[in-house]
Amino acid sequence: HREVPPLGGVPLAIKDNIFIAGGVVTAASKILEHYTASYDATVITKLKEHGAVFLGKTNLDEFAMGASTENSAFQVTRNPHDTDYVPGGSSGGSAAAVAADEALAALGSDTGGSVRQPAALCGVVGLRPTYGAVSRHGLAAMASSLDQIGPITKTVDDARILFGAICGEDIYDATSTNSSLEAFDLERTRNMTVGIPDEYFVEGLDERVARGIETVRESLERSGVSVRRISLPHTKYALACYYIIVPAEVSTNLARLDGIRYDRTVKEPKSLNDLYVRERGGRFGTEVKRRILLGTFVLSSGYYDAYYTQAQRVRRLITQDFEEAFKDVDVILTPTAPTPAFKIGEKTDDPLSMYLSDIYTVPSSLAGLPGISIPVRSASEEELPIGFQLIGKRFRESDIFDLGSLYEQTTVSQ
Ligand code: GLN
């Protein structure tokens, strides 16, 4: 007989900014509406080797810019727990597909929270790997110093299996490297110390989320894990820093979509400028244009040092906050998102309030650290899901998987 590969026949959904050779890959943008991928992303090659089956592509915010999947040029994705609510984003289609039992698991991508936040809002598990743990080859680039592909699953164990299948060094991504993934060890997990950052429990945090995090802390302590308060003093600058660096990288990455390569629809342009205006002006959505304009501005001569260089310095300070904290603790526990799912349309006219959805996921993204969102077990199935986040040291996915598994095991048997 032939041996069945580890993911043999396992049906997966794939975010539509990841290339599958021969298939259309739109990144939920009109500008790629008819574009067919000519090669497999490295994560797809690896999953094929493991025997996985691809059910289809899932909706996202255009080029992964957004937190609700309402920025898709094609569809609005709804939250399976209540269809008046958003599924989060930008990997909202992947999270909704897993939550609705349409796929056993899915792949998303996370730049500032796009795997973890929709996982939290849909009541499933979402991992953002350490920057460099998973190859970005074949992912439509948003902000290359932050983008990572990660699994969205029903359980922490499933996330561990999928991460194990897709991680590793790849010659097509110079930032990728090998990770070592350990098996669950109960004793080691119980001896961990968990830190809770003071700066994450501030105005804007929903009461329901705060209570949820409290129950997670109690559950971990009952298992023997020690929990202590920590400080990440530069947290308040993280969103401002992110919204300089991301638009800067977006404006350069998306310059390649010039209306000539990839997918061209304008037949007889009067001039090069006319072509750009009609292709880029006519086919990019509002949020994408907003970021291209912002990014072009912060990179322009005379402003570069004031904005971009300054943001890089702040990014360093945020990274140092985590390095300091991880001298005393193994894992950091935080909310994933400040609120449960919000209503469709509620934040579409207010980009700033949409950006605030990622306040708890952006800092660890800037620091390149792994983070996982896991559903808080609640007494009532009626309520909208809430997620908690575990942030680990660089390349210590094993630690956050172990602690997450411990939480799942103890809350199931209670
Ligand atoms: N919502 C955040 C943004 O719009 C994060 C997106 C992402 O991680 N791709 O930038």
Between the CA of 371 and the centroid of ligand 1 the distance, in Å, is 15
Among 358, 361, 362, 364, which residue has the most ligand 1 atoms within 8 Å of its CB, making it the best to mutate?
Answer: 358
CA of 365 to the centre of ligand 1 (A): 10
Helix (H) or strand (E) holding 23: none
- For residue 271, the CA-to-ligand 1 centroid distance in Å is 34
Give the model's pLDDT for residue 275.
Answer: 92
Q: Which atom of ligand 1 is nearest to the CA of 64?
A: 9
Q: Is 289 assigned a catalytic role?
A: no
Q: How far apart are the first and last CA of the chain?
A: 42
**The pairing of beta strand 193-197 with beta strand 226-230:** parallel
According to the model, what pLDDT value does residue 414 have? 44
Q: Cα of 332 to ligand 1 centre, how many Å? A: 21
Among candidates 394, 401, 404, 406, which has minimal Cα distance to 366?
Answer: 394
**pLDDT for residue 346:** 94
Pick from 111, 242, 361, 366 the residue to mutate for probing ligand 1's pocket: most ligand atoms within 8 Å of its CB: 111
* Exposed / middle / buried, residue 190 (Cβ in 10 Å: 0-12, 13-18, 19+): middle
Atom of ligand 1 nearest to the CA of 355: 1
Report the distance separating Cα 411 and Cα 408, nearest Å.
Answer: 5
CA angle 338, 341, 343 (to 5 degrees): 120
- Candidate list 68, 72, 114, 219, residue with the active-site label: 114
> What is the pTM for the complete model shown?
0.97
Distance 61 CA to ligand 1 centre (A): 9
pLDDT digit string (tens) for the chain, length 414 residues? 678 888 999 999 999 999 999 999 999 999 999 999 999 999 999 999 999 999 999 999 999 999 999 999 999 999 999 999 999 999 999 999 999 999 999 999 999 999 999 999 999 999 999 999 999 999 999 999 999 999 999 999 999 999 999 999 999 999 999 999 999 999 999 999 999 999 999 888 999 999 999 999 999 999 999 999 999 999 999 999 999 999 999 999 999 998 888 888 888 899 999 999 999 999 999 999 999 999 999 999 999 999 999 999 999 999 999 999 999 999 999 999 999 999 999 999 888 888 889 999 999 999 999 999 999 998 677 789 999 999 999 999 999 999 999 999 998 644
E strand intervals along 201-298:
226-230
In order of start, what are the domains of the chain with their CATH numbers? 11-230+330-413 (3.90.1300.10), 238-310 (no CATH)
Largest Cα–Cα separation, the chain: 71
Which three-class secondary structure state does DSSP give residue 295? helix
Contact 107, 139 (CB under 8 A): no
* Atom in ligand 1 nearest the alpha carbon of residue 143: 9
The Cα–Cα gap between 149 and 110 comes to 6
- 90 Cβ inside 6 Å of ligand 1: yes
Catalytic residue among 72, 90, 135, 365: 90
Q: How far is the CA of 64 from the centre of ligand 1 (A)?
A: 6
To test the pocket of ligand 1, the residue of 86, 109, 114 to mutate (highest count of ligand atoms within 8 Å of its CB) is 114
> At 259, which helix (H) or strand (E)?
none
- Number of the ligand 1 atom closest to the C-alpha atom of 146: 8
Q: Any residues with CB less than 8 A from the CB of 350 and at least 6 apart, and which?
A: none
SS3 content of the chain, % helix, strand, coil (to 5): 40, 15, 45
| Distance set, CA 219 to CA 58, 127, 377 (Å) | 34, 21, 10
Tell me if residue 135 is catalytic: no
**Lookup: tokens for 102:** 């349409």
Neighbours of 39 (CB within 10 A): 14
250 CA distance to ligand 1 centroid (A)?
11
From the CB of 65, is ligand 1 less than 6 Å away? yes
- CB distance 94 to ligand 1 below 6 Å: no
Q: What is residue 314's predicted lDDT score, i.e. its pLDDT?
A: 98
Residue nearest to atom 5 of ligand 1 (CA): 112
Query: Is 29 tagged catalytic?
Result: no
Beta 371-375 vs 125-128: how paired, if at all? antiparallel
DSSP assignment letter at 307: I
- Contact in structure between 268 and 162 (CB atoms under 8 Å): no
The upper half-sphere exposure of residue 408, i.e. CA atoms within 13 Å in the direction of its Cβ, equals: 19
